[in-house]
């Protein structure tokens, strides 16, 4: 029933991309239509734009859109065939510190969420650099951009004295897949302690939209390094709450600011697919 209700919601509300993703992930649908739908967001520079991530409405390529593309390509086991174009694009907009910026200046003249702030110095950001690097490592990619990104991520992660929920989640994705596993485990333990010290966890029943993440967001699968940050009871309560969040229309809500109405319509199908993937990862 949960899956059928979600399918009805996505059929009524989802972009073509989310419809095709749902069919591939949960109904044994083919991969080719997902790739075709994703390709509509790709630019000639190898990056992605056109509101693939709904909060950035401009046509130009953005690192955050690249991360959204990699989320999909990872589902399809298709990162490798797209990696060179993606990494070449990232290399073209990455500064000397080795990290991709959170927002590229080409968004300035286009509608965007208020937190999509352009940094004048072009400095790198762990969000989204760390999560992008995690996807590339998971796929076994090698590229000069990734070498520089690794150095950037290690230096920043191992010297963090303060963070926020979205940055910490991105770091966890890097630590999930970077090859140096002993170093990753040590860094993950320190990061998890920092997340607790800064009260960046919204446990079951705790509503703090955007300021803190639920345990299942930090650890979307049981093999994530972030799963060790929580007790079994904390994770199970988080998953129970996630399952109970499905609305009568079949979709899941989003837990961050809606700055223009279309973003809620576009984000909720994405959140619905994410919720189903997390529940399947733990409970299938």
Domain that holds residue 73: 41-155
284 found inside a domain: no
User: How many domains in the chain?
Assistant: 1
192 found inside a domain: no
pLDDT in tens, 171-212: 999 999 999 999 999 999 999 999 999 999 999 888 776 689
Contact call for residues 211 and 165 (beta carbons, < 8 A):
yes
274 found inside a domain: no
Q: How many angstroms separate the CA atoms of 128 and 91, rounded?
A: 14
Pick from 62-71, 132-141, 198-207, 236-245: least confident: 198-207
Pick from 47-61, 140-154, 201-215: least confident: 201-215
**What is the pTM (predicted TM-score) of this model?**
0.97
146 found inside a domain: yes
Q: How many angstroms separate the CA atoms of 57 and 50, rounded?
A: 6
248 found inside a domain: no
pLDDT in tens, 237-269: 999 999 999 999 999 999 999 999 999 999 999
Report in angstroms the alpha-carbon separations of 133 from 63, 67, 136, 153, 267: 11, 9, 5, 9, 23
Contact call for residues 172 and 218 (beta carbons, < 8 A):
yes
Reply yes or no: is the peptide bond before residue 126 cis, omega within 30 of 0: no
Report in angstroms the alpha-carbon separations of 87 from 46, 70, 143, 258: 8, 11, 7, 31
């Amino acid at each position: 029933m949960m899956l059928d209700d979600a399918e009805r919601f996505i059929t009524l509300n989802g972009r073509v991309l989310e419809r095709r993703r749902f069919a591939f992930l949960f109904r044994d649908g083919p991969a080719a239509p997902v790739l075709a739908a994703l390709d509509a967001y790709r630019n000639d520079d190898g990056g992605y734009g056109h509101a693939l991530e709904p909060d950035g409405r401009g046509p130009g390529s953005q690192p955050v859109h690249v991360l959204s593309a990699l989320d999909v390509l990872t589902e399809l086991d298709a990162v490798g065939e797209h990696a060179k174009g993606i990494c070449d694009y990232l290399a073209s907009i990455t500064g000397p510190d080795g990290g991709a910026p959170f927002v590229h200046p080409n968004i300035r003249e286009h509608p965007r969420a208020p937190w999509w702030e352009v940094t004048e110095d072009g400095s790198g950001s762990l969000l989204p650099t760390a999560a992008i690097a995690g996807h590339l490592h998971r796929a076994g990619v090698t590229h000069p951009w990734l070498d520089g990104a690794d150095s950037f991520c290690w230096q920043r992660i191992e010297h963090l004295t303060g963070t926020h929920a979205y940055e910490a989640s991105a770091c966890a994705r890097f630590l999930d897949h970077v090859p140096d596993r002993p170093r990753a485990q040590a860094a993950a333990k320190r990061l998890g302690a920092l997340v607790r010290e800064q009260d960046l966890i919204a446990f079951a029943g705790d509503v703090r939209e955007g300021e803190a993440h639920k345990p299942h967001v930090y650890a979307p699968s049981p093999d994530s390094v972030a799963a060790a940050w929580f007790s079994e009871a904390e994770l199970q309560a988080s998953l129970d709450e996630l399952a109970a969040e499905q609305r009568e229309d079949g979709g899941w809500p989003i837990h961050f600011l809606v700055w223009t109405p279309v973003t809620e319509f576009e984000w909720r199908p994405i959140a619905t697919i994410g919720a189903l993937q997390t529940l399947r990862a733990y409970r299938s």
